[in-house]
Structure 1
Amino acid sequence: MSRHLVPSQQKLAEKLSLMNDRGIGMLTRIYNIKKACGDAKSKPGFLSDKTLESSIKYIVRRFPNIDIKGLQAITQIRNEIIKSLSLYYYTFVDLLDFKDNVCELLTTMDACQVHLDITLNFELTKAYLDLVVTYVTLMVLLSRVEDRKAVLGLFNAAHEMVHNQSDSSFPRLGQMIMDYDPPIKKLSEEFGPHAKLLCTALVSLSQIYFGRNLSAEKWRSDQKLSLVGNPGHLLKPSQTDTMSCEYLSLDAMERWIIFGFMLCHQVLNQERPNKLWIASLESSWVVALFRDEVLYIHSYIQSYFDCMKGYSKRISEVKDCYNQAIQKAALRHRERRKFLRTTLKELGLILTDQPGLLGPKALLIFIGLCFARDEVYWLLRHNDNPPLQKSKGKTTEDLVDRQMPELLFHMEELRVLVRKYSQVMQRYYVQYLAGFDAIALNQMIQNLQVCPEDESSILSSLCNTITNLSVKQVEENELFDFRAIRLDWFRLQAYTTVSKSPLVLAENRDLASLIDTIVFHTKMIDYLDEILVETSDLSIFCFYSKIFEDQFHMCLEFPAQNRYIVAFPLICGHFQSCTHELCPEERHHIRERSLSVVNMFLDEMAKEAKNIITTICDEQCLMSDKLLPKHCAILISQVVNRKKKDKNKKIAPEIAKPGVESYRKTREDLTTMDKLHMALTELCFAINFCSTINVWEYTFAPREYLTQHLENQFAQALGGMVMYTKDTSEIAKPSELFVSVRAYMNVLQTVENYVHIDITRVFNNALLQQTQSMDSHGKTTVAAKYTEWYSEVLLRRVSAGNICFSNNQRAFVSLTAEGTIPFNAEEFSDINELRALAELIGPYGMKLLNETLMWHIAGQVQELKVVSEMASAAGLDCKVDPTLVTALRNQKNEIEEDEHLLACLLMVFVAVSIPKLARNETSFYRASLEGHANNIHCMASAVNNIFGAMFTICNQGDIEDRMKEFLALASSSLLRLGQEADKEVIRNRESVYLLLDQGKPPPVHQTEIRTSISPSSAVKLNTTSMLANYATEIVQESPFLTMDLLESCFPYALIRNAYHAVYKQEHLQS
């Protein structure tokens, strides 16, 4: 057969590349079918239909020879079955085609007598071993698909009912299902002719595998991956004779060895195959099939060897390997992870400081990433699939690694460095290729004794391509593509390792080694992303979702690992690399999974940071609260009591003063706040590690998550610190709230020291919303709560006569004894409190408060109309007919004149009604407060503002004249009050007088008061003084009236005497 085959025409390199890619696609499809059939929710509905249960059992029992006459139950739904199961069925058909192509290719390679050696023709050997293992894995995975017979049988039966004949592929497909159940026996028979080639390829792994499968102690003693172990070689490029083998996955090699020697187990009697076999079996107790599908390999091999005679020794050997694996493997891998944590950290630190070393030391980076990736894979699979029998050692403990996030983080850190400084690496290797590799290759080509035309053209093309490279191409950001070079090298390996090849690659190892190095150098220029996927892809976490999330939460709860937690959302960006174009239907699910997980991780990271910040803020608020003046009373009381202390009494314990928490005896004793700040530092390092995380086509910004959480928390904290309770009418004093808010903001500002976020934006967004009546979440704001409290609680107490507005204190003052009402008005309305309130709610909030008060005032005015209407309804005489008022309201042209007349009448009504106030007991003027007990001194402001507004609206231009009229009328009414003899009528006459002058009262000394008025005339003077108050206040408040005008209407002597009277009266009462 070999005489008829021309190796260069067999396209072995191309076929191996295509078949391996298609094999991964087929694995993906079979994997998804297995998962779907194993899940009751996702499996085809027909397989769970109770009405079809007997038909399915019949199909499985008679498979593959099924008589459709016994399947009448599916006749009505045959079209639906074809539609539903066609994807499954034709996947199995594709698998059959793939099997045929693999067998044909393996046979061709045998016929060509290809020589495989991983250290010589790496790409060819690796592709061959990958194809063998992919094929074996497919058959094993196929045998584990539940309902495979039911799916195929149902589809074929429905197909036969529709088309009156079976599907053309079904006989062979059915036979394949039967032959490969179980699969390993049939596979071993198939590989009988290929055993020699397969064994040769596997044995060539010895040098590489045993050089890789070392203990952590050996790695340390060899200073593996160390840049500083030999400082003299720091700038020298890291390279070996087998560059591609250096970052070959140990996990992949063990799969090759185990599955390969299962197929050609006859050679296990030989020393080298046996050593490889035993070492691989002692390394683990499960072997990966695909993604999270694993095989308990020892029991699987035992069940296979049990049916073979003379294999008792092999069975006991496998059992010994299993015992070794469950006792020692976990510890061995734990120590490796420990070594890799420190080594990768060292690599990251040095390369971050000196990124130029990424050029010469690139190989070390990819070796380190590959080592770490293998250890992560091992831990994931073995943690999820513990040993079938318990071991005597601490296997379970060794399978839980709380420091796994650190290893993942250092892997991600190196990946970030490679991507960030990719141009540094490109410049280095472009110069390396053109300045050294091209020259060395050219000399080696010239020294070849034999070089056929095809091989010569490949070598010449390769040499010319790398010779023409220049740094200028890198500076101009030219896109490099060396895939053709790598494929040509693959072809050259196929041409030069077959039987009777003129140019034998095994005789030119130096050439093979140089080109292998050149290929690695080209990958450093145009293939960096792909080689990162090849050496450090962690998309497997997508299929170990529970472990992935558990590891994340474990890291979140472990402060020492908090800074490494960003590795988890970064890994979500790997998930896209596990998809395959042959299975597009799974892309959507993996994409949604990636996005939801990364969003959850970032949200929980930000939430945890927010919780720590909130705890610190709460503590700072408590400390700020201790510094408030109200807490001085306790300290003052303690000092006073200490001076009066009785020696016989026990000394009261010293009260801790604010700031005592800052005293430290040692630096080692950490307080709760210290621990919180440390945790915050670590977590913020993770959040700040990268500005964006790209997952599929989306970009996530970790800092924005934190910003949003802080903004929401700040807004929530602001609402909580108000402490407004409607039932008890309790609310925080604005000044105290202001202190707490400042303390909260001071802590939030320090967050900028940890993470690059704009905390000012947080303040602006949150505080601006608090000035409105409702925030963006529909919750009541600080402005709304204080507006409600001042208008509904404080002002209602004022209306009830419990509170008076004091002119000299510029605040509302409680008139009742302390405790009678639930708050002291002066503590909420003095200048400091209102200033603090204005700072908190801003101009918009003050406007809201003002508008609410205006609404209440307008509501009071409306009550006058209600009284008029009620009087009319009761049959009382009204000066104005309500019906006429309604009619006049509709006459737009006459409204202005009527309004002016009504305003004038109202003015007269107020002026002549003022003397009535003297009857009221609470109209007494309190000189110490400069206000009346019933707040009638506020009428002066009301009269001037309301009448000013009303006459302005009327637009008659007679405001000053009308106000003069009002003063004349009011003065006349008050003077007439002076002639009254009824004590009830003139009870607080002098206090009412003072309403005409709202200025600063003249100073009246206590001695003057005592001598100027005798007790016998107190009642008369008190009445006069209360009336005089009103006149003075109105003039002082008005911009239109003067004291000269008042003097002409109302003698100032009466006002002066009124002040004397009210001061005297208050002194006597006190």
Structure 2
Amino acid sequence: MESAIKYINKKFPNIDFRGNIQHLTSIQRQKSEVLAATASYYDSFLDVIEFRDHVYELLNTIDACQCFFNIAINFDFTKNYLDLIITYTSVIVTLSRIDDKKALVGMFNCAHEMSNGSSDPSYPRLGQMFVEYEHPWKKLTEEFGPHTRSVTAALVSLNMVYPRRNLPAEQWRSAQLLSLLSAPAAMLEPACCNTMACEYLSMEVMERWIIIGFLLCHTSLNTNQASQELWKMALRSGLYLTLTRDEVLNIHKVSEDLFDCFKGYVSCIATVFENQISMSIPYVIVSGAMHRERRHFLRGALKELFKVLEDEPGLLGPKALFVFMALSFSRDEVLWLVRHSENMPKIKTPDDYIDNQMAELLFYMEKLRGLMKKYNHVVQRYHVQYLAQFDALVLNDTIQNIYVCPEEESVLMSSFVSNLSALSVKQEEFDFRALRLDWLRLQAYTSVNKAPLPIKDYTDLAKVMNMIQFHTRMVDSVEELLQETSEVSILCFYPRVFEKMFCQSSEEMTMKRYLMAFPLVCTHFSQCGHPICPEEIEAMEKRSLRLCVTFLEQIAKLTSTVVLEICAEQCNLNDQLQPKHCAETISAARHRKQKKPVPKKGEVQKEKPGAESLRKDRSVVTNVDKMHLMLTELCTCFSLCSDFIVFDHIIVPTEFLLSHLEIRLSEIIVRMANYNQTTQEIARPSDLLTKLRAYTASLHSLSGYINVDVTRLVKSVLLQQTQPLDSRGGPTMTTLYTNWYLESLLRQASNSLIVHCPTMHCFVNQTTDNDPSFRAEEFSDISELQALAELIGPYGLKFLSENLMWHITSQISELKKLVIENMDVLVQMKNNFDKPEEMANLKKRLTGGENVLKRMTIIGVILSFRSMAQDCLKDVMILLKHCPYLMGPIECLRDFISPEDDIKVTLSIFELASAAGYTCDIDPTLVTRLFSHPFNVSFLDNTSVDEEYKLSCLLLAYIAVSLPTLALDPNSLYSREHGGHNNNIHCLATAINQLAAAMFTVQNKNIAQQLKEFLLMASSTLLQLGQNVERMESKNRESIYLLLHMIVEESPFLSQDMLESCFPYVLLRNAYREVYRSFIVTLG
């Protein structure tokens, strides 16, 4: 295809499609695809030809009619004429810049001829047009030679408007332009003048008319002094003009290139042009400073104007013209900076083309736009009355003074008066488009040569009608006028400049409150498209949304960073008040009391909490002051609007802030947990809870700055932290604490390095010579577990329980293997437990008893920890605070239900009660885990339910007959201080009761009956232990006896009467006396 394109470009437009077929074989093979791909481009080029023909016809008609043009008199007629010329020129120049136009048209025609046997009828004209406009300006000047008189007349009329609009900021300031406070007495007088529409006419538009108009009709510059003055003034305004969107015209370069064509045959004109350009260069160099001063003036002027009108919106009626003037002036300066920033000249003062305060100008432009929309009814009501009670009368008087009035013109003007006179504020809908169109028709009728009613002779009529036209627009088309004077949608095509402006403004402290203007400007971008070209709307929508979201993300990021820095500072201050930091203060007080020597001068004494609030001079600004000031500035920008629409997408800025805060707060919470998997270190739950409370307290102060639902934010973040993963898939404090308690605390407890202490309801370290890596009680006492329960809540505790149950089921799997290995012996021991001789022989054959007890102890330790955490959930009153009326019914349901009832109903209620922190007879989590675990789906490998039940019974028997071996362990000694045994065997009571209840619930068997059989067997084996007085087994016999009592005491299915029936109470009493006798009581 490349060779075909090169051939077409080389031979265009005279391409031999038949003689050189070897160059076009690729098009021949894909002619259908080529036609389909290039048809839209070809049709667009044909549209240009058609448009050119219509322009030629219209311009020739205007010249033939010798129309009169004056921007101050027949404004609409003149404006549309100049717009037509500029639009036509922009189309032709843009067309000449399309590099592939010849290839596209040539390929289409080639494929067309190959498909239809003949070229497209329009191809010769299209090819000829491309050749003619290889040098567009030269051809355009030739075309507009006959139209010089009309164009010059229209442009020269700008002498009444452009010079007084193109003034430096000093003159604006001295004239107090746009100020309502400069003349308080005239504040209620309507703002009127003879050239209403010219007052808010865009300077950019006028400069485009002047520069391009005189380039096309250059001969007038040699004959008309007024033309030369306008030309020079426009040249000094800058270097670039906008053709369309981001297509710009380097006016000096284009002028120089054009003048080169004149040398040799129009030398005088070339000389004039060159002199004018050389004269304008110094002004161009300083034009950046002039526009910078204008922007500086406009920022103050717009702020003052907005403040006055916001306070007195009734002034929008008489002073509406001021608003549109302010918006138009500001828009011109924004667009000038945009096109020159993208094409910045190499000068010594580049700062003139950088504005780090652009946010303020855009902000007040949006504020004024919003004010006009909000009080549109005020403006409408004022101007309806003005039209009916003043304009209609003035127009009628003016018409009466016209001596000669043709019939058609008379009918039009009479309809104007009648329509305006009939207006009433009671009307609900107004539409003056027909009236304004009639006024344009009347301008056309009266502007032609030898018109019966020449408008140039009746300037009073033109002035009145121009004023009426403005007033009618104030009634029915304020939105359109706002769009005309203040839309800056061109920024959509300069994304790099737009983003750079935002970054520059965001670096300035005083500009942060205006940053919301940047995303709000993106609402203008929907005006960029055109119904004739719908295919580009999607691309514009994506670009607009991308820019809008980028700005909002940056604003939210800045705000969230400041908010969380303040929270961190408050957290640090709060941490200084913690009791753990008072040791130094107490020590210093004790030294003073004992009159010990004070610290040396070189030692720096630590400041007390609150010292940062003591200031002798308020001018001293602290870091916290700066952060609060920045937060105030950033939050102010969110007040610009609660929501806005970009291409049918509703944008809510505060949601971006909440989203950022949610993400950052989640990260901070995880970071504050300070979990180190390598060293197994983690922050104490109480410390994390204290920090979290400080953060949330500081976060709630945000609602004093901005209307956001901080409570919803905090609840969302904390709820995510109760889940294994947050909304972004990151770890949560629930996951971190679950991992730490399982991998660190409970692992050491399983190895008896840490002891479960029922007396203090915590875990404590064993007394050893080595310093422990952490103190277990600092992470497992009631206050810490209550803090943990408050942090991770019922959901987090459920996740913790599920992980604990996974470890329990892995231990049960190992127990199953041991039971199967010793099944025969266990069956015999179960049947002969009341025969000491046979039990002694069978016990010698039994293996793995210590292993069974060890694994059951691990299960007991895990269940004890879970029970402690579960109790703290209820103790901490979390659920009573959130749902107080729900807790009573849950407790009643738990007490009312019985294990003998329907198992599904029972488990459902127990699961509800367990989630509320209540202890249940049957652990629903353990039952669920046993149901789902492969070991319990089929408790044996493909065994029947009866055999499954048999294994459960034998496991209890295994435990019962193995209990005496615990007496051999010196760590089995009962500790009165801890309320348990040093090797955690007291946890067997919890393990046996919970595991038995769960297993027999799964198998739908009687729990109490099986536990009673276990009690009989355990009692029998322990009574046999008492007969061996001289053996090692009797050393910790009393401590083991107490274990039997603990099993019964913790079981909801066993009673003391059952125990006494099989185990003498006197033995328990003596056992308690014996273990307590050995305990040394110390009194401090």
TM-score, normalization: structure 1?
A: 0.84
1:588 to 527, 538, 542: 538
Cross-structure match for 1:930: 979
Please give the alpha-carbon distance, in whole angstroms, between the structure 1 residues aligned to 2:812 and 2:98. Answer: 84
Please give the alpha-carbon distance, in whole angstroms, between the structure 2 residues aligned to 1:67 and 1:1038. Answer: 101
Structure 1 residues 371, 64: closer, same or farther in 2, change over 3 A? farther
Structure 1 position 119 matched with structure 2 position 72: yes
What secondary structure, in the 3-state scheme, does the structure 1 residue paired with 2:146 have?
Answer: coil
Structure 1 residues 947, 588: closer, same or farther in 2, change over 3 A? closer
Please give the alpha-carbon distance, in whole angstroms, between the structure 2 residues aligned to 1:443 and 1:888. Answer: 111
Please give the alpha-carbon distance, in whole angstroms, between the structure 2 residues aligned to 1:887 and 1:579. Answer: 71
Cross-structure match for 1:1005: none
Please give the alpha-carbon distance, in whole angstroms, between the structure 1 residues aligned to 2:15 and 2:739. Answer: 84
Cross-structure match for 1:100: 53
Cross-structure match for 1:1018: none
**Contact 2:34–2:111 (CA<8 Å) still a contact in 1?**
yes
Percentage of pairs with the same residue:
47
Cross-structure match for 1:382: 340
Structure 1 position 917 matched with structure 2 position 947: no
Structure 1 position 298 matched with structure 2 position 249: no
Structure 1 position 52 matched with structure 2 position 65: no
- How far residue 778 of structure 1 moved from its aligned partner, in angstroms, is 3.0
Please give the alpha-carbon distance, in whole angstroms, between the structure 2 residues aligned to 1:874 and 1:1034. Answer: 25
Please give the alpha-carbon distance, in whole angstroms, between the structure 2 residues aligned to 1:1048 and 1:910. Answer: 20
Cross-structure match for 2:171: 218
Structure 1 position 550 matched with structure 2 position 508: no
Q: Could you list the runs of 5+ residues in structure 2 that have no partner in the other structure?
A: 832-845, 847-936
* Range with greater deviation from structure 2 (270-279 or 601-610): 601-610
Cross-structure match for 1:88: 41
2:353 to 395, 399, 417: 399
**Contact 1:285–1:325 (CA<8 Å) still a contact in 2?**
no
Aligned-partner residue type, residue 370 of structure 1:
S
- How far residue 342 of structure 1 moved from its aligned partner, in angstroms, is 0.9
Cross-structure match for 1:416: 370
- How far residue 621 of structure 1 moved from its aligned partner, in angstroms, is 3.1
Post-superposition Cα deviations, 1:113-141, rounded to whole Å, max 9, x if no partner, equal 21111111000010111112222223333
Please give the alpha-carbon distance, in whole angstroms, between the structure 1 residues aligned to 2:249 and 2:11. Answer: 28
Structure 1 residues 793, 874: closer, same or farther in 2, change over 3 A? farther
Aligned-partner residue type, residue 254 of structure 1:
E
- How far residue 781 of structure 1 moved from its aligned partner, in angstroms, is 2.8
Structure 1 position 318 matched with structure 2 position 318: no
2:426 to 455, 472, 490: 472
Please give the alpha-carbon distance, in whole angstroms, between the structure 2 residues aligned to 1:818 and 1:436. Answer: 104
Please give the alpha-carbon distance, in whole angstroms, between the structure 2 residues aligned to 1:914 and 1:150. Answer: 97
2:407 to 447, 453, 457: 453
What secondary structure, in the 3-state scheme, does the structure 1 residue paired with 2:268 have?
Answer: coil
Aligned-partner residue type, residue 371 of structure 1:
F
Structure 1 residues 913, 516: closer, same or farther in 2, change over 3 A? same
Please give the alpha-carbon distance, in whole angstroms, between the structure 2 residues aligned to 1:691 and 1:441. Answer: 45
Structure 1 position 713 matched with structure 2 position 664: yes
- The 5 Å alignment of 1:659-674 reads 659-674=610-625
Cross-structure match for 2:208: 255
Please give the alpha-carbon distance, in whole angstroms, between the structure 1 residues aligned to 2:305 and 2:683. Answer: 56
Post-superposition Cα deviations, 1:502-526, rounded to whole Å, max 9, x if no partner, equal 2222232222112111111111122
Post-superposition Cα deviations, 1:712-763, rounded to whole Å, max 9, x if no partner, equal 2223333332222332222221111111211222232222222222222222
Cross-structure match for 1:131: 84
Please give the alpha-carbon distance, in whole angstroms, between the structure 1 residues aligned to 2:27 and 2:1029. Answer: 111
Please give the alpha-carbon distance, in whole angstroms, between the structure 2 residues aligned to 1:201 and 1:527. Answer: 27
Cross-structure match for 2:581: 631
What secondary structure, in the 3-state scheme, does the structure 2 residue paired with 1:205 have?
Answer: helix
- How far residue 1056 of structure 1 moved from its aligned partner, in angstroms, is 5.2
- How far residue 911 of structure 1 moved from its aligned partner, in angstroms, is 4.9
Structure 1 residues 187, 1044: closer, same or farther in 2, change over 3 A? closer
* Range with greater deviation from structure 2 (64-73 or 429-438): 64-73
What secondary structure, in the 3-state scheme, does the structure 1 residue paired with 2:451 have?
Answer: coil
CA RMSD of aligned residues (A): 3.3
Cross-structure match for 2:931: none
- How far residue 487 of structure 1 moved from its aligned partner, in angstroms, is 0.5
1:367 to 312, 315, 325: 325
Please give the alpha-carbon distance, in whole angstroms, between the structure 2 residues aligned to 1:590 and 1:953. Answer: 63
Please give the alpha-carbon distance, in whole angstroms, between the structure 1 residues aligned to 2:35 and 2:798. Answer: 72
- The 5 Å alignment of 1:3-402 reads 49=2, 51-52=3-4, 54-60=6-12, 63=13, 69-70=19-20, 72-78=22-28, 79=31, 80-268=33-221, 269-306=223-260, 307=262, 308-311=266-269, 313-387=271-345, 390-391=346-347, 394=349, 396-402=350-356
Cross-structure match for 2:925: none
Please give the alpha-carbon distance, in whole angstroms, between the structure 2 residues aligned to 1:870 and 1:660. Answer: 71
Post-superposition Cα deviations, 1:887-938, rounded to whole Å, max 9, x if no partner, equal 999786857xx84x77666666555544432221001122222221112223
**Contact 2:4–2:26 (CA<8 Å) still a contact in 1?**
no
**Contact 1:68–1:157 (CA<8 Å) still a contact in 2?**
no
- The 5 Å alignment of 1:438-449 reads 438-449=392-403
**Contact 1:771–1:844 (CA<8 Å) still a contact in 2?**
yes
What secondary structure, in the 3-state scheme, does the structure 2 residue paired with 1:699 have?
Answer: strand
Aligned-partner residue type, residue 928 of structure 1:
E
Please give the alpha-carbon distance, in whole angstroms, between the structure 2 residues aligned to 1:165 and 1:947. Answer: 96
Aligned-partner residue type, residue 817 of structure 2:
V
Aligned-partner residue type, residue 703 of structure 2:
E
Post-superposition Cα deviations, 1:661-713, rounded to whole Å, max 9, x if no partner, equal 33334333333333233223222322342222211122111111222222222
Aligned-partner residue type, residue 747 of structure 1:
S
Aligned-partner residue type, residue 1080 of structure 2:
H
Aligned-partner residue type, residue 629 of structure 2:
M
1:980 to 1025, 1028, 1032: 1028
Please give the alpha-carbon distance, in whole angstroms, between the structure 1 residues aligned to 2:941 and 2:47. Answer: 89
What secondary structure, in the 3-state scheme, does the structure 2 residue paired with 1:311 have?
Answer: helix
Please give the alpha-carbon distance, in whole angstroms, between the structure 2 residues aligned to 1:546 and 1:713. Answer: 28
Structure 1 residues 816, 108: closer, same or farther in 2, change over 3 A? same
Structure 1 residues 224, 298: closer, same or farther in 2, change over 3 A? same
Post-superposition Cα deviations, 1:339-387, rounded to whole Å, max 9, x if no partner, equal 0011111122222222222222111111111001111111111122233
- How far residue 419 of structure 1 moved from its aligned partner, in angstroms, is 1.7
**Contact 1:688–1:702 (CA<8 Å) still a contact in 2?**
no
Post-superposition Cα deviations, 1:809-862, rounded to whole Å, max 9, x if no partner, equal 111111134864422110111110111111111122223323433443343333
What secondary structure, in the 3-state scheme, does the structure 2 residue paired with 1:804 have?
Answer: strand
Please give the alpha-carbon distance, in whole angstroms, between the structure 2 residues aligned to 1:958 and 1:69. Answer: 102
Cross-structure match for 1:569: 519
- How far residue 243 of structure 1 moved from its aligned partner, in angstroms, is 0.8
Cross-structure match for 2:819: 868
* Range with greater deviation from structure 2 (851-860 or 703-712): 851-860
- The 5 Å alignment of 1:433-832 reads 433-474=387-428, 478=429, 480-637=430-587, 639=589, 651-817=602-768, 820-832=771-783
Structure 1 residues 208, 492: closer, same or farther in 2, change over 3 A? same
Cross-structure match for 1:20: none
**Contact 1:285–1:298 (CA<8 Å) still a contact in 2?**
yes
What secondary structure, in the 3-state scheme, does the structure 1 residue paired with 2:764 have?
Answer: strand
Structure 1 residues 157, 849: closer, same or farther in 2, change over 3 A? closer
Structure 1 residues 888, 925: closer, same or farther in 2, change over 3 A? closer
Structure 1 residues 777, 874: closer, same or farther in 2, change over 3 A? farther
Please give the alpha-carbon distance, in whole angstroms, between the structure 1 residues aligned to 2:243 and 2:729. Answer: 53
**Contact 1:811–1:830 (CA<8 Å) still a contact in 2?**
yes
Figure out how many residues of one structure are paired with residues of the other and give that number.
Answer: 971
Please give the alpha-carbon distance, in whole angstroms, between the structure 1 residues aligned to 2:25 and 2:417. Answer: 67
- How far residue 764 of structure 1 moved from its aligned partner, in angstroms, is 2.3
What secondary structure, in the 3-state scheme, does the structure 2 residue paired with 1:993 have?
Answer: helix
* Range with greater deviation from structure 2 (374-383 or 850-859): 850-859
